[in-house]
Amino acid sequence: MEAKLSRSLITTLAHNQKTKCSRRIIVAVLTRPPPTDRHHHHHHDKINLKPVGEVMQKAVYNDNWFEQMAINHLSRCVQDATGKRNQKAGYESLVEAATTVARNFNPSHQRELVIQALEKAIPSALLQLAKQMRTLIPQTKFSREFFAVFTTVFFAWLVGPCQVKESEVNGGTEKNVVHIKKCRFLEEANCVGMCTNLCKMPTQTFIKDSFGMPVNMVPNFDDMSCEMIFGQDPPAASDDPAFKQPCYKLCNHLNFIFSAFRQRKAKAQCQVLNLMQMKIETRRVYWRRFISPVK
């Protein structure tokens, strides 16, 4: 009788454990409806995330030998800064290295590691020359436009197709803005936090400290575009609209966190179940000895 009761209790616990472990967690983000006023189309104080069922078409890149070499070099520099290696190649390796930074370090440390990687990626002699020249050459319309053109020509492999746009500076117009149609890094990472902490903030700091050129990066998380405005100081992080945006519903980093949480929870539940089974087995053995007649 007692053995049947024990087996029944174990079966019930196992069934409940299986039912609990099979539950799925659904993460949803409520968003506001899009503004009706066309003049507010480019404002970033609100974000309208796409529904889960609506999938944006992913861009396909055919990197040439120079672009592949640059991608692999930057990926190795990020891995050297963190001390964590991955076996992937190409842009996938770079995103994996960046994801490792996001998962293992806090935001301020993330920015420091990316700056270290950028400093390692560029020859030290060139950086020293740039730091000396920035004190001799003042910021001018030519320097701002030069940085914009240089970025579009030599860094499309990193951020995707981009073009130079005009903006108003001190009452005049300058071609000092780089418009990135759809950021390659944001599309691959699919995470607002990785965009702000691993791209926007460290890039702004690195360009300002190394080349003396202020730059404000303004990402648009609706269509994954971005604008780099050279000659414009970025706002403080507490006032920056980019840090007031919720993450994507299908954020890779957020899904990783929930997955790890579910695994830890399932492991803890299994440990509790095993402990209960051991206690039941111990009691069963005890009662067998107690009830069985002494020979």
Q: Are residues 220 and 286 in the same domain?
A: no
Mean of pLDDT values over 89-109: 94
pLDDT higher than 60, residue 215: yes
Q: Are residues 150 and 282 in the same domain?
A: no
Name the residue among 238, 148, 253, 144 with its Cα closest to residue 195.
Answer: 253
- 294 vs 105: CA distance, rounded Å: 64
Name the residue among 108, 102, 106, 107 with its Cα closest to residue 78.
Answer: 102
pLDDT: which is higher, 177 or 20: 177
**Helix pair 90-104, 65-82: axis angle to 10 deg:** 20
- In this structure, is residue 33 part of a structural domain? no
Q: Are 287 and 133 in contact (CB under 8 A)?
A: no
- In this structure, is residue 67 part of a structural domain? yes
Length of the chain: 295
Q: What is the pLDDT of residue 196?
A: 94
Distances, alpha carbon 5 to alpha carbons 8, 11, 24, in Å: 5, 10, 31
pLDDT higher than 50, residue 122: yes
Q: What is the pLDDT of residue 199?
A: 95
Q: What is the pLDDT of residue 286?
A: 67
The band of 292, judged by pLDDT with boundaries at 50, 70 and 90, is low
Structural domain boundaries enclosing 287: 2-23+257-291
Mean of pLDDT values over 6-28: 46
Residues in CB range of 158: below 8 A, 6 or more apart: 70, 71, 74, 184, 185
pLDDT higher than 70, residue 49: no
pLDDT higher than 50, residue 36: no
Q: Are residues 265 and 221 in the same domain?
A: no
Residues in CB range of 67: below 8 A, 6 or more apart: 157
The total number of structural domains in the chain stands at 2
- 261 vs 267: CA distance, rounded Å: 10
Q: What is the pLDDT of residue 48?
A: 42
Mean pLDDT score of the chain, rounded to an integer? 78
pLDDT higher than 70, residue 294: no
Q: What is the pLDDT of residue 250?
A: 56
Q: Are residues 124 and 225 in the same domain?
A: yes
- In this structure, is residue 237 part of a structural domain? yes
- In this structure, is residue 50 part of a structural domain? no
Mean of pLDDT values over 152-157: 94
Mean of pLDDT values over 275-282: 68
pLDDT: which is higher, 7 or 76: 76
Mean of pLDDT values over 239-256: 70
Q: Are residues 201 and 246 in the same domain?
A: yes
Q: Are 47 and 32 in contact (CB under 8 A)?
A: no
pLDDT: which is higher, 59 or 269: 59
Q: What is the pLDDT of residue 281?
A: 67
- Whole-model pTM? 0.67
- 181 vs 9: CA distance, rounded Å: 61
Mean of pLDDT values over 97-118: 94
Q: What is the pLDDT of residue 135?
A: 72
Q: Which two tokens stand for residue 115?
A: 């700056």
Q: Are residues 197 and 249 in the same domain?
A: yes
